[in-house]
Amino acid sequence: MSDLTRMTATEIAGLVAGGETSAVEVTRAHLDRIAAVDDRVHAFLHVDSAGALAAARQVDDRRAAGEQLGPLAGVPVAVKDVLATKGVPTTVGSKILQGWRPPYDATIVQRLRAAGTVMLGKTNMDEFAMGSSTEYSAYGVTHNPWDLDRIPGGSGGGSAAALAAYEAPLAIGSDTGGSIRQPGAVTGTVGAKPTYGGTSRYGLVAFSSSLDTPGPCARTVLDAALLHEVIGGHDPRDSTSIPQPVPDVVAAAKLGATGDLTGVKLGIVSEFTGEGAEPGVLAAFRESVDALTKLGAEIVEVSCPNFKYALPAYYLIAPSECSSNLARFDGVRFGLRVGDDGNRSLEEVMSLTREAGFGPEVKRRIMIGTYALSSGYYDAYYGQAQKVRTLITRDFTAAFEQVDALISPTTPFVAFPIGARTSDPYQMYLADLFTIPTNLYGGPGISVPCGLSDGLPVGLQIMAPTMADDRMYRVAAALESVVGTFTPPAL
């Protein structure tokens, strides 16, 4: 394997900027690595070799012409298949969008291109980002590079696996209930969910619009921060985009890397460190808490009593929004169309298309959501869940009056064997037990590798107040400076 694929994005960008390697060389190394391992990992749904090499050539030409390049110019990036990419297949892991080539780029993809990053292709995901293992992808499961018989997390398992398998140094994910952080945790990589509204949803295929948050995935905290800076910031095309600059996450990551957390007060969410998590996860978490204390952080226990209602509230709010959002897949406007033989009514064609195009988990969510929104049940389900959302936000607000950031394990359990949780949806939903509260509140959260349990990665989650994304990067980088990064066994 070429050394270039082992490098961080920061290192690659430095070499490209200094003329020690070219973007084309870097891109070729990663395409070769994908060719060598992706038949076993299946991180990618689509590899755009020609597009990647063309983008890399452009970067090299710009450099040769003496242009000033951005901090990630020439660095390859893998993009979750939830973002629209002009002319490049975008399926959301669903048969219903098979063959769709969007006529436009998502804002995040535009920003990636403008920054001179090189898009390698689109990564596998649970259908419509609903799931925690990529097993609900209509195009086959992704394998965790740490153990190919285990899941890489989800819904963004492809992005996380691509990082862990050294197929890409950077990736994009989207986090509605944990789909960036949970795959990060179980693959030993870094995943950050920005403040809701801090990254644009324009061109992100919608699942649950009040929760969906695209964000950066990387192997180091600094790389994630650099990517966050490139993709973040106000977008007039997204009505919920926050009209403020991105907090200085890069400076915060650099500050954290000095390993000094003096004056930083962290709260352990007491509800998340009792039962409900595997002993190996709790052990790695506690060791990290000791490490953070040694770095100077003050650590206290904080109770967030309503967090225990987050999972049920999420599984009403997210399916409700999904049932509305997914109504647009009608067999008329995008992708699949079934039964349009001239003899069937429009309604029959829509019904046949949706029957054939959506997988079982997506159908389950549409049915739950439609039920929760139906007249007579609305107040008892959707309305009640919204009230719980307010209570959870109040828990966060009260906690952040006492501490700068909250910490917890990212997930209750490490990567589980493929097939272990598919027969019981609730067992799958539990993967996001600790990540969902942040989505309901809207604040940022990051997962950073903090140790191993029986040879499998464990993540530590840091949650910060809205628009204080920089705080979580500082703490994450500080922890990384003592625990280091984690390399899976060679593939």
Choice from 23, 112, 120, 130 touching ligand GLN (CB under 6 A) = 130
For 419-474, the DSSP string reads TSSSS-HHHHHGGGTTTHHHHHHT--EEEEEEEEETTEEEEEEEE--TT-HHHHHH
Q: Which of 22, 80, 122, 133 is catalytic?
A: 80
179, 200, 320, 447: the catalytic one is 179
183: contact with ligand GLN by CB under 6 A: no
Q: By CB under 6 A, is residue 155 in contact with ligand GLN? A: yes
- Tell the smallest beta-carbon distance from residue 243 to ligand GLN (Å): 25
In angstroms, the CA 219 to CA 208 distance is: 27
Residue 181 structure tokens: 């952080």
**Considering the rule CB under 6 A, would residue 362 count as an interface residue with ligand GLN?**
no
d(CA 72, CA 115): 7
**β-pairing, 170-175 with 76-80?**
parallel
Nearest 10 degrees: CA dihedral of 165, 166, 169, 171? -30
Judge contact between 460 and 288, C-beta under 8 A. yes
Q: Strand 265-269 and strand 405-409: pairing?
A: parallel
- Residue 317 sits at φ, ψ, to 5 deg, of -70, -50
Structure tokens given for 55: 């983008």
Q: Does 60 bind ligand GLN (CB under 6 A)?
A: no
176 touching ligand GLN, by CB under 6 A: yes
Decide: is 178 part of the binding site for ligand GLN (CB under 6 A).
yes
Does 173 engage in binding with ligand GLN (CB under 6 A)? no
- Smallest distance, ligand GLN to C-beta of residue 245, A: 26
Give the E-state strand segments of 270-332 in sequence order. 298-302
According to DSSP, the β-strands at 265-269 and 456-463 are unpaired
- Residue from 131, 198, 203, 331 touching ligand GLN (CB under 6 A): that is 131
Residue 219 beta carbon to ligand GLN: minimum distance, rounded to whole angstroms = 21
Q: Which of 177, 359, 369, 449 binds ligand GLN (CB under 6 A)?
A: 177
Taking the least distance from each CB to ligand GLN, the nearer of 36 and 430 is 430
Amino acid 395 reads D
Q: Which amino acid is at 30?
A: H
* Under rule CB under 6 A, residue 132 binds ligand GLN: yes
433 binds ligand GLN (CB under 6 A): no
- Comparing CB distances to ligand GLN, the nearer of 175 and 330 is 175
Q: Which of 73, 129, 164, 269 binds ligand GLN (CB under 6 A)?
A: 129
Q: Which of 217, 227, 168, 211 is nearest to 192 (CA)?
A: 217
The CA radius of gyration of the chain, in Å to the nearest whole number, is: 21
Q: Residue 331 corresponds to which tokens in the numbers above? A: 């067999």
Of the candidate spans 157-165, 169-177, 380-388, 448-456, the one that interacts with ligand GLN by CB under 6 A turns out to be 169-177
User: Is 86 annotated in the active site?
Assistant: no
Task: Tell the smallest beta-carbon distance from residue 176 to ligand GLN (Å).
Answer: 4
Interface with ligand GLN, residue 215, by CB under 6 A:
no
Q: Which residue's CB is nearer to ligand GLN, number 344 or number 364?
A: 364
Q: Under a CB-based contact definition with an 8 Å cutoff, are residues 71 and 226 in contact?
A: yes
Task: Give yes or no: 155 in active site.
Answer: yes
CB of residue 202 to ligand GLN, shortest distance in Å: 18
Which residue number, 58 or 427, has a Cβ lying nearer to ligand GLN?
427
353 contacts 96 by C-beta, under 8 angstroms: yes
Residue 288 among the catalytic residues: no
**Is there binding between residue 318 and ligand GLN (CB under 6 A)?**
yes
Residues annotated as part of the active site? 80, 155, 179
Q: Which residues bind ligand GLN (CB under 6 A)?
A: 129-132, 155, 175-179, 207, 318, 432
